[in-house]
A and B are shown apart, each in its own frame.
Chain A
């Protein structure tokens, strides 16, 4: 290097890289060359490095070379600023000098001249502007540029503010949309799990008002006759009042609900004062916006959802979308609830028909049983009639053989009249008489007996009694109950006595302290009468007849057990299950109704107890009744 000391710093501000490269090539062997690609960068760099010389391109974006020169003149008043430009229009040089430049070089750069000029400028050479008018022109231009800049900045600021506002609106809209959709989803989730229609509708209107913050919500459903939209659920007191009134609207354009249903389109009144097709409801005075959304399922409109707000213009597009989504879900839920209802109806109908079937079966059994019990009655009656006739005719025949003075005796009159009465009742008196005549004395004595008549009366009585018993057995368990607290040993002793069973033929095996029970005393006594009667009948004709009645605590707490044990014939294992069946009886010989044990089981069951049986053929049977004890 030829020179000593720090190298001089030259700053080149130009937006064209090739120009900066050329300047660097030409000068960097002697000077420290700095580059900036625009005006602002150049000014900042100049302030930092304090260059000894600055080249500035006049035509650059944002900040022109003129403006950079002006700025540099105040920033570094002693540093020469040289304009470097390809502009060859008139007075460029003057304008550059007016802006504060100290020299002017035109592009393209002449390498020889360029180095010379650099040295000259560094050496203090300055060009002077002769004409001051350029300076004024330049100042006007700067003010203009400045004004334009301010405008641009203001505009940019406004645009920024607008964009910012728009962003905020979008954000709040999307937040609201998310909230609405979330609420709709929550409502849907809640309502689709409710299968009772009324509960579903009431829950829906409540949830809609709570989640969306609306004033009122109501659900209308189209009636069966397809004439009216009937309010099925309404929010709050207004809703309750309208429901009580049976509020309904015709399916036409005279109401928003009617219109929404007939057109299958949402109806929205953002300012109800202006809406003609709207039912003005005195119960909802605060409504300012109202919306009616059709409830559609599978292409059919089943009703409408009405939502009302105290605000005007309360419903945004998002509200409508969210609520229509909700309405669609609601329609599906209503449909589900209705389907379930239909299913339940069908099930109930099936149950009813099954019940009828069961009743028919039981009735058939009962008729069969009654028919069998009644079967001997006509035969016995016929025999008694015949026997009666035979006795009277025999008596009259004997009377005919008596002397005339006896014919007026009061008994003779009685017998004559009896014979006349028989004839009047279509008895063939002659035929009976002939039949009696035909019999030998021995045959007569054997064939006509009072014993036989009494037996036939007994047969009739027995049959009638059996039929009457079934009535008691059938209606016994259904009798009105009168619950008392009493002791079982006492009841059993009383029962045995009332049945006329001698106390010495019964073993009472009662534990020292037995808890009382709570039941209808008469009903429970019926149970024990039944069991004791069974036991006595099972022992008929048996060599050992011993009835044992026991009362004791069960092993499990709060249960008391009564045992009725006989030494009777026993029940074969294959019959043990059947004894609880209605109309089943093993007592062919003894005339049971087949209802006694089923009735017992029912009574004990209703008391929360249990009746069981253990039996051994030839040894005997034990019926055990377990009952809840009163402690």
Chain B
């Protein structure tokens, strides 16, 4: 498919990750997953030339680039992704009680944050961001 939507989903909680993955796949999206920042960055870099991702969804608290559990791993990955593809829309995943950290991610260039738990909401958020992207693309 030529305008296939490719999404990179990085989260260390397997059930959370799989559930979100299924929701996105059902919406017709192509999803690649990773369980930590290191793996996520590797997948992103590998795909960059051939089939770059349209959007990344990144958890905050997970193993970081060194593989060590780190509450700021998502921020680390965020800067790596933006360094390679500055216009990439990134959604930061957060627990309901970590919204402040997620807001900090916005100031560091994330497009939006999403509080885990209501996956229909995540899907809406992804659609909204992609529509905005399309509009900007049309304007250009």
Q: Check: B104 CB closer than 8 A to any chain A CB.
A: no
> Which of B20, B22, B62, B120 counts the most chain A CB atoms within 10 A?
B22
Judge whether B18 and A459 touch: CB under 8 Å. Answer: yes
Closest chain A residue, CB of each to CB of B123: A379
Q: Which residues of B contact A589 (CB under 8 A)?
A: 12, 14, 35
Q: Which residues of A contact B97 (CB under 8 A)?
A: 364, 367-368, 371
Q: Check: B135 CB closer than 8 A to any chain A CB.
A: no
Q: Which residues of A contact B13 (CB under 8 A)?
A: 372-373, 375-376, 588, 591
Known: A374-B117, A375-B13, A459-B19. Is A575-B62 also a contact (CB below 8 A)? no
Instruction: Tell me which residues from 576 to 591 in chain A have a Cβ below 8 Å from any Cβ of chain B.
Output: 578, 584, 586, 588-591
Q: Check: B119 CB closer than 8 A to any chain A CB.
A: yes
Judge whether A591 and B14 touch: CB under 8 Å. Answer: yes
The 8 Å CB contact of B62, one of A373, A380, A588, A590, is: A588
Interface residues on B, range: 20 to 34
CB distance from A381 to the nearest CB of B (A): 10
Mask, A383-406, CB within 8 Å of B = 1, is 100100000000000000000000
Judge whether B68 and A379 touch: CB under 8 Å. Answer: no
Q: Check: B48 CB closer than 8 A to any chain A CB.
A: no
Cα(A459)–Cα(B12), bound, Å: 15
Q: Which residues of A contact B69 (CB under 8 A)?
A: 575, 578, 584, 586, 588
Judge whether B15 and A463 touch: CB under 8 Å. Answer: yes
Judge whether B23 and A383 touch: CB under 8 Å. Answer: yes
Q: Check: A447 CB closer than 8 A to any chain B CB.
A: yes
Q: Which residues of B contact A466 (CB under 8 A)?
A: 15
Cα(A379)–Cα(B68), bound, Å: 29
CB distance from A625 to the nearest CB of B (A): 25
Q: Check: B47 CB closer than 8 A to any chain A CB.
A: no
Judge whether A378 and B116 touch: CB under 8 Å. Answer: no
> Which of B12, B19, B20, B26 counts the most chain A CB atoms within 10 A?
B19
Cα(A50)–Cα(B39), bound, Å: 144
The 8 Å CB contact of B18, one of A364, A368, A455, A575, is: A455
Q: Check: A430 CB closer than 8 A to any chain B CB.
A: no
The 8 Å CB contact of A574, one of B35, B68, B119, B120, is: B68
Known: A375-B13, A588-B12. Is A452-B22 also a contact (CB below 8 A)? yes
Judge whether B95 and A379 touch: CB under 8 Å. Answer: no
The 8 Å CB contact of A383, one of B15, B16, B22, is: B22
Interface residues on A, range: 20 to 34
Cα(A78)–Cα(B44), bound, Å: 158
> Which of B95, B98, B120 counts the most chain A CB atoms within 10 A?
B95
Q: Which residues of B contact A380 (CB under 8 A)?
A: 19, 22
Q: Which residues of B contact A277 (CB under 8 A)?
A: none
> Which of A368, A375, A378, A574 counts the most chain B CB atoms within 10 A?
A375
Q: Check: A246 CB closer than 8 A to any chain B CB.
A: no
Q: Check: A250 CB closer than 8 A to any chain B CB.
A: no
Q: Which residues of A contact B118 (CB under 8 A)?
A: 378-379
CB distance from A444 to the nearest CB of B (A): 13
Q: Check: A236 CB closer than 8 A to any chain B CB.
A: no
> Which of B63, B67, B117 counts the most chain A CB atoms within 10 A?
B117
Judge whether B63 and A382 touch: CB under 8 Å. Answer: no
Instruction: Tell me which residues from 101 to 140 in chain B have a Cβ below 8 Å from any Cβ of chain A.
Output: 116-120
Q: Which residues of A contact B63 (CB under 8 A)?
A: 588
Q: Which residues of A contact B20 (CB under 8 A)?
A: 376, 379
CB distance from B31 to the nearest CB of A (A): 13
Judge whether B12 and A378 touch: CB under 8 Å. Answer: no
CB distance from A371 to the nearest CB of B (A): 6
Known: A367-B97, A575-B69. Is A375-B16 also a contact (CB below 8 A)? yes
Cα(A578)–Cα(B97), bound, Å: 22
The 8 Å CB contact of B26, one of A374, A383, A575, is: A383
Q: Check: A124 CB closer than 8 A to any chain B CB.
A: no
Q: Check: A456 CB closer than 8 A to any chain B CB.
A: yes
Q: Which residues of A contact B68 (CB under 8 A)?
A: 572, 574-575
CB distance from B94 to the nearest CB of A (A): 10
Q: Check: A609 CB closer than 8 A to any chain B CB.
A: no
CB distance from A463 to the nearest CB of B (A): 6
Cα(A578)–Cα(B70), bound, Å: 12
Q: Check: A462 CB closer than 8 A to any chain B CB.
A: yes
The 8 Å CB contact of A382, one of B12, B36, B116, B120, is: B120
> Which of A379, A452, A572 counts the most chain B CB atoms within 10 A?
A379
Q: A367-B97, A376-B119 are in contact. List 20 more A-B contacts (CB 8 A).
A: A364-B97, A371-B96, A371-B116, A371-B117, A372-B116, A375-B16, A375-B19, A382-B120, A456-B19, A459-B15, A459-B18, A462-B15, A466-B15, A578-B69, A588-B35, A588-B62, A589-B14, A590-B14, A591-B13, A591-B14
Closest 4 CB pairs of A and B: A588-B12, A376-B19, A379-B119, A375-B116
Binding site for B on A (CB under 8 A): 364, 367-368, 371-376, 378-380, 382-383, 386, 447, 452, 455-456, 459, 462-463, 466, 572, 574-575, 578, 584, 586, 588-591
